[in-house]
Each structure stands twice: as C-alpha cells, then as structure tokens.
Chains A and B, each alone.
Chain A
Amino acid sequence: MDITLNHYLAVAAVLFVIGLMGVIVRRNLIIIYMSLEMMLQAANLTLVAFSRFNHHIDGQIFVFFVITVAAAEVAVGLALIVALYRLRQTTQVQDLTTLKF
C-alpha cells in the first residue's frame, strides 16, 4: 500500500484530536501542556505533508517558525507552572480556584 497525503493528514488529525482531548480531559497542568505541544506538532505534520506532496517549500519553512515559537512558549510556560507550583505546591487544574465568579 502506498502512503499518500491522506494518510499523513489522518495521522495529524488524530494527533490533533488526542491533544485536544488531553487539554480538555486531563487535570494536570504539565500533561495539559504536553497535549498542547502535541496539537502544535500535529499542525506541523500537516504542514510538512502538504509541503512534501504538493512541492511547495513554504510549509517546511513555516514549520521551523512554529518549532521556534513553540520552544519560546514552553520556556515561558514551564517557568509559569514552576512559579505556580512553588506558591501552591500543586499543578492540578482543579486547585486553581482563586479566580472564580
């Protein structure tokens, strides 16, 4: 069986949905953050697949930007989560209840 563009897109879509489910269902901030990264990687996979199969190089360039930006986001994000842990001794979402209606 040939691996076609659609196979890559399907894998990317599955990754994206798993990531989204992780963000919605999981309660631990670190796991949520991992799921978010997974969603970004799913988008990257889509970009690379389109780029490779349609012979447009722009998509692969875009992926480098996304990776770089994601790295910056992780640096800031993990710093925030660590700061929160120091203060509250927890990374569980259900404990973040100070700001409530």
Chain B
Amino acid sequence: MLSSAYVPYLAPEMLLTVWAMLLLLADAFLSLTPRAMAALSLAGILSATLLTLGFNTTPLLYWGGLCSWDGAAKFYHVFFLAVAALVTWMADDVQKPVRSGASEFIILPLFTTAGLMLLSSANDFMLLFVALELVTISFYILVAYQRRSVIALEAGVKYLILGALSSAFLVMGVAYIFGLTGTTLFTSTTPGVDSIANHFHNDFPVGVAFGLLLVLTGIGFKIAMVPFHSWAPDVYEGAPNSITAFLSVGSKAGGLIMLIRVVLGVFDHSTAAAIWIPALSIGAILSLILGNLAAIPQRNLKRLLGYSSIGHSGFILVAIIAASATLTGTAYTQSPNDLTGQVAVAAYLVTYLLATFTAFIVLAVLERRLPGLEIHHLAGLSQRSPLLAAAFALSLISMAGVPPMSGFIAKFYVVLVAWNKGLYTLLGFTIFAAVAALYYYLGPIKTMYWSEPLDEAPIRVERTTRHVLVILMILLVLTGFWAQSISILVHNAVIGKGVPAASAVAVNKEPRRKQRGIADSE
C-alpha cells in the first residue's frame, strides 16, 4: 500500500521539518545572525513552495489513505507557505527578533507551517490530531516568546489552557467516532479498507452525534468560534505582532480546512447534517454578533482585530454551511460539484490574509515608534507617515467589506452562496454583522486622518517594509477590481479546472455578476 510514488506529496512537509531541525542545529553550533537565519528559513519555505507548485491536482489518497491530495490541499499548502514567508520576514525585518541569539522565533514557524500543511491534507483523525498538536504546541512557545513580558506570558498561559482543553475535547470526540465505526480514516478508496464515510448513511447513532459535537467544540476553539472564543482577544493582544497575524490567518485557516475535511468530507449526508448544520449555524450567528459588537468599544488595536477575527470566523462558517451538499439550491458557477461554498471560504481567506498582514505589519512598525497601540495613539498618523496610514486604512476598509476592496468580494461571495442555498436567517445576521463592522473599522481611520497628531515627528519606514506594504496594498485593491478572474483562479485551484460556465464569463464586470447571482437564485 505504501507505494514510493506516494512519497513526493509529503516532500514539502518533510523538507520544512528537516530544514527546521538543521537550522536549530546550525543555531546551536554556528553563530548565525537572526538575519541569516531568516534568509535560510525563507529559502526553505521557497523550496517547499516550488515543490508544492510542481504537483498536479488529481485527487488521490497516499500514505495508505492517511493523507489526501487534491486541489484544496494544494491551494492551502501554498496559502500556508505564503503565510509562513510573511511571518518569517516580519519576525526578522519589521519587529526585530525579541533579543539577539533568539533564532527559535524564526525557526519555529517552519514547524508550525509543516503542521498546518499536514492538516490541510489529513485524511485520518490520527494524523489530524498529531498535525494539529504540532501547530498548537509550537504556537504556545511563539505566543509566549517574550518571556520577560507579563502580557506575553499571560497570553501564552491562557492559550495553553484553552488549547489543551480543546485538544481534550477533540480526542474524546474522536474516541467516540472511532468506537462506533472502528476506524479513524475519513474516506478510503482501497477496497476492503473501512472508513468513517462508509458508515451511517441511514442511521446516525447518538454516540457519533456526541462525538461529532465534541470534535466541533475542539475545532471551534481553534477558529475562535463563539462560545469558544474567549482566548482570542487576550492572546492576540499579548502575542508578538507577527505571531498574532500568524494565529489570525494561519491557525484560523488550519482550523477551517480541518472543519471542511471533517464536516464536508465525512459527515456531509442528511442524517449527520441535521446535527452539525444547526450547531455550526448557532456558532456562526453568535460569532457574527459577538465578534462584531464586542469590537466596537475596544480601544486597543490588537484586541479590536482579535474581536474582528472572531467576526470573520462567523462569515467563513456561513460559507462552510452553505457548502454542504445536503442543502439544495442553485450553485452560482453551475459547476458539476456543489462546492461553491468552499470557493467562498478560500477566497475569503485570501483576502483576509492580505488585509490582516497589511494591518499587522503596520502595527509592528508602529509598536516600536508609538507609546502604545491604542486607537488614540494613531492620531494624525496620516501626517506622520502617509504610507502607514494609507496601508492601515486600506486593510481596515477591506476587512469591513467596502467595495471595491477585496474584502467586499469575499463578503459578497459569502452572501451569494448563502442566498443561493436559501440560508436566509444566516444571511440576515451576515448583513447585520457586516454593517456593524463598518462602524468600528472606521474609528481608527477617522483618528488617523482627522485628528491632530500628538507628536509631529515623521515616522520613517524602512525600504523593504515599504515595498512589501505597497505590494500588499496593490493586491488588496487589484483582487477587488479583478474579482471575477481571481474567483475563477481560486475556483480552479480549489475545485479543479473544467468549469466552462465560470470561465466563459471571466471578462464580465462586477455588476453583471451580481445580477446573474440574484437571477440564478430566483
């Protein structure tokens, strides 16, 4: 069963872990500067990316069915590698390592990324658990890395307790699902090998429902879904900026791909969907409301982004629910597979990545120049550094979902898939949350542009940082304007090519698409 042809698909993860271990050794024996370490680390990430890009997207299971490979796996592999590259660059260049000789801060994200990549192709609860813990345990260290800082340690301990709690829920849930199926494999293509997906098409024992709910609880902690969100604002505030961005994009995307693999890959039939759709709907609604309303009174920018990330989880959960094949409705792209919800998730995550990293790079620069990261510290930033102010404003506008920014497209997609599937209650809450979000996203922008600066001294931004910020800003705007092509790109990446209906309308502009989306659903 373990054919040698299956090894290459694991090569990116292997490369990253081996490279990270070599770097740890090199750190012990050679005296490399953090700068050199970051360059080596980026070289590893780049090689892994090139390896991943070389794979085709024919769906298959490898490693005896433990891992699966498909368009979504490839997409998320590249996504996580991009996140890792940004995090590594930020750690070294923008915020400077916490103290000299602290190269672990640059090396550990490689392990995290390998874990996230494994997560995105896991086809077995055992691998899923181990990959998830690889991610979580390395995050414990990264969050609390500034161990002379009370805030960082508190954040680390909070993340530790709630992370361990979520793992316990997850294992207990897996234990029940295993107990009633006798296997931990999600799906299987080998004849004679049992998998969870082969069970429960007609009946759904209460034990498995219990197990599934426990697993959802465990995953809910990872994606900061209300009511399992309480760690998010604290940890976001206490962690170093690059790690907050990593948590907010990488860890969340990891949890979401895990959720997609479990609920859409294994439990997407009517009996099971009767359990998880209501459960996730409640989680989505609560996240949308609480995440966006609790962000309003926040004064600390990192806490504000923490609450807003809870709200974003809510939006993405709506898309995941809409991706369920058990709901009937017209699919927007008329693709053979009913997977548009998954495309919405992927598109949302891409725009979220761009906006979040722009915001946190700005915050990382400001952290060393401003007395604090409260909203009032931003006063008059547009005069002190037009670039930083513009970048932060663009990222906030994009997160708020104002057209024509890329965030608007992401939210529009979510609304569209929810509408097509007839999820009107969820849709109502989504729109309400999007409007509420506008309010608190505009607050910092107002302070930056229309308040008198407390300190007139201009803030100098280093050259590389400037270039990265400009590129991210251009991408934020471009992905908004060329949404149709981007969506087809994401669609092809996640689902695979051969969707003529979508490609044929590639040149259509935004308003046309909107009309068509509504026309489809009528």
Chains A and B form a bound pair? yes
**Chain B residues closer than 8 Å to A62, beta-carbon distance:** 125-126, 129, 174, 178, 184
Q: Complex formed: what's the CA distance from A67 to B393 in Å? A: 47
Asked whether A65 and B175 contact (CB < 8 A) given A76-B141, A99-B151, the answer is: no
Which listed residue, B158, B161, B176, B178, touches A58 by the CB 8 Å rule? B178
**Do the beta carbons of A69 and B130 come within 8 Å of each other?**
yes
Write the residues of chain A forming the contact surface with B, with a CB cutoff of 8 angstroms. Answer: 12, 16, 19, 23, 29, 32-33, 36, 39-40, 42-44, 46-47, 49-51, 54, 56, 58-59, 61-62, 65-66, 69, 72-73, 76-77, 80-81, 83-84, 87-88, 96, 98-99, 101
- B-side interface mostly: helix
**Do the beta carbons of B183 and A43 come within 8 Å of each other?**
no
**Chain B residues closer than 8 Å to A58, beta-carbon distance:** 126, 178, 182-184
How many of chain B's residues touch chain A, expressed as a range? 35 or more
8 Å CB interface, B178-196 against A: 178-179, 182-184
- A-side interface mostly: helix
Q: Complex formed: what's the CA distance from A34 to B417 in Å? A: 45
**Do the beta carbons of B137 and A72 come within 8 Å of each other?**
yes
Whether B121 is near chain A, meaning CB under 8 Å from some CB there, is no
**Chain A residues closer than 8 Å to B148, beta-carbon distance:** 87
**Chain A residues closer than 8 Å to B154, beta-carbon distance:** 84, 96, 98-99
**Do the beta carbons of B133 and A72 come within 8 Å of each other?**
yes
Which listed residue, A33, A59, A80, touches B156 by the CB 8 Å rule? A80
Whether B144 is near chain A, meaning CB under 8 Å from some CB there, is yes
**Do the beta carbons of A99 and B171 come within 8 Å of each other?**
no
**Do the beta carbons of B150 and A88 come within 8 Å of each other?**
yes
The 4 A-B pairs of least Cβ separation, nearest first, read A50-B179, A39-B168, A43-B171, A46-B175
Which listed residue, A19, A50, A69, touches B175 by the CB 8 Å rule? A50
**Chain B residues closer than 8 Å to A44, beta-carbon distance:** 171, 175
Q: Complex formed: what's the CA distance from A32 to B164 in Å? A: 10
Minimal Cβ-Cβ distance residue in B for A16 = B172
**Do the beta carbons of B171 and A40 come within 8 Å of each other?**
yes
Whether B216 is near chain A, meaning CB under 8 Å from some CB there, is no
Whether B155 is near chain A, meaning CB under 8 Å from some CB there, is yes
- Stretch from B231-239, B248-256, B283-291 at the A interface: B231-239
Nearest CB of A to B267, in Å:
19
Whether B160 is near chain A, meaning CB under 8 Å from some CB there, is yes
**Do the beta carbons of B137 and A76 come within 8 Å of each other?**
yes
**Chain A residues closer than 8 Å to B179, beta-carbon distance:** 46-47, 49-50, 54, 59
